[in-house]
Copies of this chain bind each other. A is one copy, B any other.
Amino acid sequence: MSQNNAFRALDRQECLRLLAKVPVGRVVYTRQALPAVLPVNFSLDMDASVLLRTSAGSDLVRAVDGVVVAFEADEIHAATESGWSVVVTGRAQVITDPVEHERLSRTGPRSWMPVRDAVFIRIEAEMVTGREITGTPGQG
């Protein structure tokens, strides 16, 4: 899709503004040497990092703590073949600082699921890329 007129690259600020509009994204990581992806609800922290909440003993924590992951969110309208997609790439880390944990317990994302021994995972927004799909019906 390299010479595609129908894409527009989004700058970091546009990406973060769009990310803040949606409640759910997808963590992309490696599990047992295979590509893996998991939809999760999230929120953005003040420094634009992505925050997730899950169980301390979850597979997700085991797989992503300390490694670089991607986090994707999008809104795509099939009828008009238009929309946007944003990807945050950066190191994921379980938050171990009790003060930070306490702050996020008040202000961070809650989980949609029952969670035992809740922990927060922060994905640093080291690289933020996105694109708008402007839609060119009739082509392709």
Residues of A within 8 A of B (CB): 1-7, 23-24, 26, 28-30, 34-39, 41, 53-55, 57-60, 68-70, 72, 74, 76, 78, 81, 85, 87, 89, 110-116, 133, 135-136, 139-140
Contact = CB atoms under 8 A, between A and B. Distances in A.
19 contacts: A1-B55, A1-B58, A1-B111, A2-B58, A3-B116, A4-B113, A6-B114, A24-B78, A26-B37, A29-B35, A37-B37, A37-B70, A39-B85, A41-B78, A41-B81, A112-B136, A113-B136, A114-B139, A115-B140
Copies in the complex: 2
Nearest to A114: B139
A65 B122 CA distance: 32
A26 B73 CA distance: 10
A78 B22 CA distance: 9
Contact of A72 (B26, B60, B68, B115): B26
A98 to B, nearest CB: 21
